[in-house]
Amino acid sequence: MKSPILQIRDTSFSYDRETVLHSVSMDIQPGEFVGVIGPNGSGKSTLLKLLGGVLTTDPGKLFFREKDYKDYHRKQMAQSITWIPQDHSMIFPFKVSEIVLMGRHPYLSAFTFEGDEDIEIARNAMERTQTLQFAQRGFNEISGGEKQRVVVAGAITQEPEVMILDEPTSALDIKYQIQILNILQQLNKDEQMTVVLAMHDLHLASKFCDRLVLLDQGKIFQDGRPEDVLKKENIEEVYGVKVHLIKDHDGDIMISPDTICTP
């Protein structure tokens, strides 16, 4: 029995007066590929930010390798867990390679420049994500799909054990969605990287994830294998639409609107 790499215990979270998570608990095992799904506003981003250490909560709620998040130094934490935002708007004209190299921050002390080893790590990360060819271009000049790959390259450069991504595919066309998911799957297979990501496309979620966590109004509605979570009745209740499910030839689940009796 492996011990969990990430744990969240009975955690609620509110912004101002609005509660977005209600006593959520889950364990994530090393090497899992977990998809967090649910309607807009169901608390996916908040859950991922908590797991990523970007939002803080009371002690005794979040654990990495069975030790409280609060007992890690920030840089120590960043060497193990990285969180990737949904939005990559950048005000200042950083180059792609500068963005990727920022992933080395948790390994460097104050006012130092990245050394040869750091540059080598960044180069490898860019090769794996096919971003090396535009290393010298401005981050703001490249397309959305390219940006997402660059940000993932930065995360790889951080050499974490857990990668948490907030809707990495939502703004992309199908080609880039599959490209990103393939990169993540490769990391998961080759390096046992634990991946936790929020997704909207339920079909792709069922294809790539070993486990799905379905959120509904800040609560975990169901947590389990894709075929157990993506049930007609679950989806109809949580999303509030009539659907029917189709299995593709791999047995992955596709969801189609039930056009005859839409509510």
Partner 1 sequence: MSIILMDRKRYAGTLGLFFLFFLATLAITPLIGLTHIDLGKALSSDIAFSDNVDANILFLVRIPRIFLAALTGGALSVAGAVFQCLLRNDLAAPFTLGVSSGAALGAVIAISLGLSYTVMGIPTVPIAAFLGALGAITLVFSLSRTRTGEFPTTVLLLAGVTANFFFAAMVMFIHYLSDFTQSFRIVRWLMGGLDITDYKTLLSICPMIFIGFSILMLIGRDLNLISTGVQSAMSRGVDVIKVQKIGFVMASLLTGTVVAVSGPIGFVGLIVPHIVRLLVGPDLRLLLPASMFFGASFLILCDTVARTIIAPTEIPVGIITAVLGGPFFVWLLKRPKQ
155 phi and psi, to 5 degrees?
-65, -40
Is residue 110 close enough to count as binding partner 1 by CB under 8 A?
yes
Q: Which two tokens stand for residue 15?
A: 């912004």
122 or 180: whose CB is closer to partner 1?
122
Report residue 219 as tokens.
Answer: 């609560």
Complex with partner 1: residue 137 or 242, whichever CB lies closer: 137
Cβ proximity to partner 1: between 92 and 260 the closer is 92
Q: Which two tokens stand for residue 62?
A: 């979040």
Per-residue string for binding with partner 1, 33-72, x by CB under 8 A?
----------------x--xxx------------------
Residues 6+ apart with CB under 8 A from 73: none
1 binds partner 1 (CB under 8 A): no
Instruction: Name which of 41, 18, 27 is nearest 216 in CA terms.
Output: 41
254: amino acid identity, one letter = M
Mode of pairing for the β-strands spanning 81-84 and 162-165:
parallel
Of positions 46, 97, 129, 194, contacts partner 1 by CB under 8 A: 97
Which listed residue (1, 2, 17, 91) binds partner 1 by CB under 8 A?
91
One residue of 27, 98, 210, 258 binding partner 1 per CB under 8 A: 98
Beta carbon nearer to partner 1, 171 or 243: 171
* Residues 230-249 contacting partner 1, CB under 8 A: none
Least CB distance to partner 1 at residue 67 (A): 17
DSSP secondary-structure letter at 4?
A: P
From the list 55, 20, 51, the residue with the least C-alpha distance to 38 is 20
- Look up residue 175 and give its amino acid: K
What is the distance between the alpha carbons of residues 19 and 21, in angstroms, rounded to a whole number? 6
Please choose, from the candidates 164, 216, 219, 223, the residue with its C-alpha nearest in 3D space to the C-alpha of residue 21.
Answer: 219
Residues that bind partner 1 (rule: CB under 8 A) add up to a total of 48
Our CA angle for 234, 207, 258, nearest 5°, is 40
Closest separation in Å from C-beta 83 to partner 1: 4
Q: Per CB under 8 A, which of residues 171..230 are in contact with partner 1? A: none
Of 36 and 229, CB closest to partner 1:
36
- Footprint of partner 1 (CB under 8 A): 15-16, 49, 52-54, 74-79, 81-85, 90-95, 97-103, 105-106, 108, 110-114, 119, 122-123, 126, 132-133, 135-136, 140, 158
